[in-house]
Structure 1
Amino acid sequence: MRTPTGGAGHGTATAGERLPAAGRLMSIGTVLGQLRGEFPEVTISKIRFLEAEGLVEPRRTPSGYRKFSQEDVERLAQVLRMQRDHYLPLKVIREHLDAAARGEQVQLPAQGSARDAVATGTGAGEPAFWEAAGERRTAARVSRAELLEAAGVSEAELVEWESYGLLVQDAAGAFDAEAVTVARLVADLGGFGLEPRHLRAMKAAAEREAGLVEQVVAPLRRHRNPQTRAHAEATAKELAALSVRLHAALVQTALGVRLG
């Protein structure tokens, strides 16, 4: 049965269990793969946070792993779409989804921008940006077990990648949420014969690029005005995206020269 929030009811499930209308249950790693086509920045921490807020309720295996139905994935996509396109607080998103589940007509606000959300606020009066920032503080780390599960890699592989500095855990044994993406990409590159020792140059280049971004936004982050600090986060994100695009273009150009 479905709960009022629209997620799967609590309970346990095996990896091969089927739901009557939603198909085979999926691991959180599979869910990430489905969502990232439309939402490339979604992470395991994001899904965990939305679960903690009651916006989705996956089943659990006897060993505690999350198992999602296709309906859960569609609900997550709805939530992410409302955040991206309308900058709504999670409380308002939950109310919209619950109303839609009751068959009520739901009228979403006009699409806005992140800057509008910071300047004017949404929903109950709290700017959506602050809610997103709070989310990052709350769900910015993943445990070792969660990383292994989401990335679909072995402990031996993770230990090797750590030895080359490609993945780094903190004092509590947790990893940054982006570690899932890093692990998957390292594994994919390994399929082409690229070993961790070959990737150290990429790691060093990424750290240099991060240093450049930090230089640009550091004065903004030290500002007392909360909106200026919020602008620093948005600027850092935009600069990082531009840096990635430039890196990709430079690699393509270099390959064009080398391969004729």
Structure 2
Amino acid sequence: MTAAGARKLSGGLLSIGQVLAALQDDFADLTPSKLRFLEEQGLVTPERTKSGYRKFSQSHIERLRLILTLQRDHYLPLKVIAEVLDDMDQGLDPIIPGASQRNASSVLAPKRVLSSDELRRVTGASSRFLGEAIAAGLLPAAEVFPHDAVPQLTALMRLAERGITPRHLRSLRVAAEKEAEMISHAVSTRGVNSRTPLGTEDSLELAGYLDTVRSGVLRRRFSGQ
């Protein structure tokens, strides 16, 4: 390494730990192993010190932010992301697949809704399976879907592979509706008796507590405790 290169790596560049600190508020699932995997896939190429330690520049940080956003908010596979990055490296402004009105320069504004075609493309679900999920009340009957429909539909597909189809989960939907009624009652009752009105955030907080309790019951059931 030249003296100039050594001086460059001695300041202004970040370690893996510093990269995680910079990005984890927005990407909570980011880990050192994921960073190394993205490097192995050729999507980002950090510099190396003489002793082999990875060092990341600000441009590397922005590139990682773009990659992670394309994965999380646009559900693009790494192969497609690599093509987007290659176009950008050539000075082009590529259009994000499945969202012709959105290009890479504006991709950091996350896509919050998907059409049924986009939802099926991202998850690989058939029209029939999506229809079954909607008919069972597990997904909304709508022309567009919230972004969290992706993990929900994916989970339904994985369950169906094990023989648990949307039709079998109607009781889950009924139970969830009863829980929602219970939460609404608790929130409205406390709102009357409290100086501080309660609303959606409080309902979601109680729903989170119920999820924790439900998960604990299921884990104990299958662990034999």
TM-score where L is the length of structure 1: 0.43
Q: Per chain length, whose mean CA-contact separation is higher, i.e. which structure has more relative contact order (CA < 8 Å, sep 6+)? A: 1
Larger radius of gyration: 2
